[in-house]
Structure 1
Amino acid sequence: MSRRLPAEWEEQDGVLLSWPHADSDWCDDLERVEPVFFEIALQISRFERVIIVAPDAEALTPRLRAAGIDSARLSVVALPSNDTWSRDFGPIAIEADGALKLLDFGFNGWGLKFASDRDNQISRHLAAAGRFAAPLQTVGLILEGGSLESDGAGTLLTTAECLLNANRNPHLTREKIVAEMASLFGVSHQLWLENGYLAGDDTDSHIDTLARICPNDTIAYVACDNVEDEHYPALSAMAQELRAFRTPSGAPYRLLALPWPQACFDDEGERLPATYANFLIINDAVLVPTYADPQDATALAVIAEAFPGREIIGIDCRPLIRQHGSLHCVTMQLPLGVLA
């Protein structure tokens, strides 16, 4: 069976979101974070469908319509959830012998750091409710969407810190995980970063916070230029790795350095994982997290260089990083043909 993991920039049906609620970690921050979700949903709905899971769909739906979201592009499904990180519990779409299939991996709250029992069932509930046109296959492996980047042509970019972490699949060696990635996603060219992290990140260095594959053999990556910052050594080492990576044809990748935002901290003084790499690619646009930072404009310009012809839309994600994620983390794109 031939398999392929589509690139994020390929045509999409829509994007999955999980709405924040009072029985989640957002309980004390709903007034700050809900406007961010409304803005993300609104911008997605300008270009494609948005499917939202929420514990109280009946109450949320009129609020979404009042926010200007086109009803024809909106689906709200009543489902319980632990949290909002759709990237990591949502289904991962592949092509198997040319037909779409959804893979439902196990989600264990990034190594049992947080409750995940409800989130781990969301993909199955959506499939049972007839929301998907593609079949859903349960896979007996712990894996999150934020840990994978694909160019849609056989190359996978990931981090060793996440995929080899003992809190995910401790029974598997590196060689076995490499083999699983090749078998599940049909990838023949795997690029594994050994360096790179963000303080305040709960995911064990998800690739979507650090480096992103873009069209035309391009990688956009976070670059720390402040030698006094704790991240400088690790991110400098990561940049060296990226410079050494080669495409399947043996050419170096075109590298685009994303700027380094000023350090953000929570109310207790803990550093938060602000990153411009956590952008979402949708039909004809890219949604980019911003942080009311002087570097926001530079980040938007760099991403515009990676995605010519797409509208580049900044969304203030300062409330999101208070729970240690950003824009890409709360979304999961669904390729064309996935949604019923």
Structure 2
Amino acid sequence: MRFLNYCVYTLVVHKPNKRETMNKLNHLKILILLFLFSCSNNSKKDSEIVEPNFYSQGLNNRTAAEWEPALGTLFVWPLSIPHKLVIELAYDNHLFTMVENEDSRKEAEKWFKEWRINPENVTFIYAKQGVDAWWTRDWGPSAVFTNKKEYKLADGKYIYSTPVTGLACNDSLQFLYKDENNKVKLTQIDDDATIPLSEQLGFEILDLPINNTGGSVLTDGLGTAFSTCIILNENKYHGIDSENFLKLNDSLLGFQKYNIISNFETYGIQHIDCLLKLIDEETILVAEPPNDHELYDIYNEIVTKELSILKTPYDNPYKILKIKTERYKEERLAAYTNSLILNKTVYVPLFDIPQDSIALKTWSDVMPGYKIKGFKYALDDEPFVTEELRKHYGTYGWNNGDALHCRTRAIWNPEMLFISVNKISPEVDSNQKKKVFATLIDYSKKGLVENKNELLWRIAGETEWKTITLSPTDTENLFSAEIPNYNSGETIEYYISAVSNSGEKERRPITAPIATYKFTNN
């Protein structure tokens, strides 16, 4: 099992006489029955009973979440993203630029030099480009860590060009692009592009027999995935029924729980990254249309009847936040959830409407400590645009179902230091023990730095942080620390910090101490 619950108790043993022994045994039987009953009912009345719910990768594979440590971003040249976005991505991280040949590389280098991009921040990947090359999110690989801490590029099937469907999950699958003989255009070239990517970067491929189109799949890094139900139709078309699809996701990608939600477009690609965004393990950011838009009730029903009843891997209800969207072309909605989270920055598509500034403010509010960067994409303002791009998009490069997230893909750090924290409830009894459990996995295999894995805490309003060293538990990769009790009414802020011998340093929340976990004593 990936998430474990257990009850901890202590028996005090001494040497009584025979009659006392019988009485004690009878009492003990009653106590044990009461104890077992309390465990089965998850009773938290006894502050000495600890019932942690923690993540353990165990014998499973694990697929990385979007916000986990990344080396940089994969995209293609010629560009299908704004040049200012490329400049920012190069400044913040590393560019993995896919080109078809040497001439294409030279062309990219010419423009990169003009845009003052440091060539040391660029790696060129040579690969053939098919009809869907722009959408690296959809055909590109995700990062999977095996139970032996090996890093692999998970390469799903991406063979048919842009399947679409209606609202109902049992609506027939159709395709946007067909050839002159009315046959579905195949994207085998793009499906195969992961092979030269893996060869040139030196990463192994985990070949997946399923369709897991990138824009259709979101994960929390803890074995939970989210998709709209078009993903089942895509796999059924490919010959994989729903039962086998879920089994293969569990065994290969580690998705022990797969949340399939309703489609949200009256007709479209139904990619979930245009509806919502996981921003951490327990928070979902959902687009909210204007209340006079035809999709308002559909989005609202998904939130109230589906997302609101789901539980996080830590068995809590998800915190559901809203980002208001608006019409930008007739009835099309600006796809603000179609943003890229990369390390400590969020890159947001803008649609040249007044709502843009409100969307950036929302992103800033829900992601404290992150840099929020917005990007318009008027093709007439771009220094370099191919005729193919202009023919496809017209005058504006972002679309309601196809924006910034769709055309970028992280290359995750194979030696990352993974952290996940089971947070203390927001409100707790002042007499209850405040024990924090954190999973730390060093994928570099070089070990954690001793005494550098810490919980830092303070009373809200204070400036100095107090430090507690995390203690290993009997469970591999699981650590704990206990925050001292304080008076009722006090709010405590805390975060986790860890360092590996490979030099990786991580915190949770990621932008701590700007962002912190917190609870209030009652």
Corresponding residue number in structure 2 for 1:9: 67
Q: Which has the higher contact order (CA 8 A, sep 6+)?
A: 1
Corresponding residue number in structure 2 for 1:102: 153
Once residues 273 and 124 of structure 1 are traced to their aligned partners in structure 2, the CA distance between those partners, rounded to angstroms, is 36
Matched residue SS, 2:273: helix
Unpaired segments ≥5 residues, structure 2 = 1-58, 164-174, 178-184, 379-395, 416-522
Matched residue SS, 2:124: strand
Corresponding residue number in structure 2 for 1:30: none
For 1:136-151, list aligned pairs within 5 A. Answer: 136-151=205-220
TM-score scaled by length of structure 1: 0.85
Corresponding residue number in structure 2 for 1:280: 340
Contact kept, 8 Å, 1:47 with 1:282, in 2: the verdict is no
Once residues 87 and 172 of structure 1 are traced to their aligned partners in structure 2, the CA distance between those partners, rounded to angstroms, is 22
Corresponding residue number in structure 2 for 1:91: 141
How many residue pairs get aligned? The number is: 314
Contact kept, 8 Å, 2:336 with 2:350, in 1: the verdict is yes
Corresponding residue number in structure 1 for 2:47: none
TM-score scaled by length of structure 2: 0.56
Once residues 156 and 236 of structure 2 are traced to their aligned partners in structure 1, the CA distance between those partners, rounded to angstroms, is 11
Once residues 226 and 234 of structure 2 are traced to their aligned partners in structure 1, the CA distance between those partners, rounded to angstroms, is 20
Cα displacement (A) at 1:224: 1.6
Once residues 107 and 354 of structure 2 are traced to their aligned partners in structure 1, the CA distance between those partners, rounded to angstroms, is 38
Once residues 193 and 299 of structure 1 are traced to their aligned partners in structure 2, the CA distance between those partners, rounded to angstroms, is 24
Cα displacement (A) at 1:244: 2.0
Corresponding residue number in structure 2 for 1:212: 277
Corresponding residue number in structure 2 for 1:182: 250
Once residues 255 and 70 of structure 2 are traced to their aligned partners in structure 1, the CA distance between those partners, rounded to angstroms, is 21
Once residues 127 and 5 of structure 1 are traced to their aligned partners in structure 2, the CA distance between those partners, rounded to angstroms, is 17
Bigger Rg over Cα: 2
RMSD between aligned residues: 2.4
Once residues 112 and 271 of structure 2 are traced to their aligned partners in structure 1, the CA distance between those partners, rounded to angstroms, is 30
Contact kept, 8 Å, 1:317 with 1:326, in 2: the verdict is no
For 1:70-85, list aligned pairs within 5 A. Answer: 70-81=118-129, 82=131, 83-85=133-135
Does residue 43 in structure 1 map to residue 94 in structure 2? no
Amino acid in the other structure paired with 2:72: G
Corresponding residue number in structure 1 for 2:115: 67
Over residues 200-243 of structure 1, what are the superposed CA-to-partner deviations in whole Å (9 max), with x where a residue is unaligned?
A: x4xx211111111112510001112323x221232122122222
Does residue 172 in structure 1 map to residue 217 in structure 2? no
Contact kept, 8 Å, 1:288 with 1:300, in 2: the verdict is yes
Unpaired segments ≥5 residues, structure 1 = 22-32, 266-270
Does residue 135 in structure 1 map to residue 204 in structure 2? yes
Contact kept, 8 Å, 1:141 with 1:169, in 2: the verdict is no
Amino acid in the other structure paired with 1:8: E
Once residues 215 and 52 of structure 1 are traced to their aligned partners in structure 2, the CA distance between those partners, rounded to angstroms, is 28
Once residues 110 and 180 of structure 1 are traced to their aligned partners in structure 2, the CA distance between those partners, rounded to angstroms, is 23
Cα displacement (A) at 1:5: 1.0
Corresponding residue number in structure 1 for 2:407: 330
Contact kept, 8 Å, 1:292 with 1:316, in 2: the verdict is yes
Once residues 217 and 407 of structure 2 are traced to their aligned partners in structure 1, the CA distance between those partners, rounded to angstroms, is 15
Once residues 307 and 399 of structure 2 are traced to their aligned partners in structure 1, the CA distance between those partners, rounded to angstroms, is 29
Once residues 291 and 213 of structure 2 are traced to their aligned partners in structure 1, the CA distance between those partners, rounded to angstroms, is 30
Q: 2:318 aligns with which of 253, 272, 296?
A: 253
Q: 1:294 aligns with which of 354, 358, 363?
A: 354
State the identity %: 24
Cα displacement (A) at 1:324: 4.9
Matched residue SS, 1:165: helix
Corresponding residue number in structure 2 for 1:126: 197
Once residues 370 and 123 of structure 2 are traced to their aligned partners in structure 1, the CA distance between those partners, rounded to angstroms, is 25
Contact kept, 8 Å, 1:11 with 1:335, in 2: the verdict is yes
Does residue 230 in structure 1 map to residue 289 in structure 2? no
Once residues 272 and 52 of structure 1 are traced to their aligned partners in structure 2, the CA distance between those partners, rounded to angstroms, is 31
Cα displacement (A) at 1:71: 1.1
Q: Which has the higher helix share?
A: 1
For 1:263-278, list aligned pairs within 5 A. Answer: 263-264=328-329, 272=332, 274-278=334-338
Change (3 A) 1:113 1:167: farther
Contact kept, 8 Å, 2:335 with 2:400, in 1: the verdict is no
Change (3 A) 1:18 1:272: farther
Once residues 133 and 305 of structure 1 are traced to their aligned partners in structure 2, the CA distance between those partners, rounded to angstroms, is 39
Once residues 332 and 6 of structure 1 are traced to their aligned partners in structure 2, the CA distance between those partners, rounded to angstroms, is 12
Amino acid in the other structure paired with 1:49: H
Contact kept, 8 Å, 2:222 with 2:313, in 1: the verdict is no
Cα displacement (A) at 1:145: 1.2
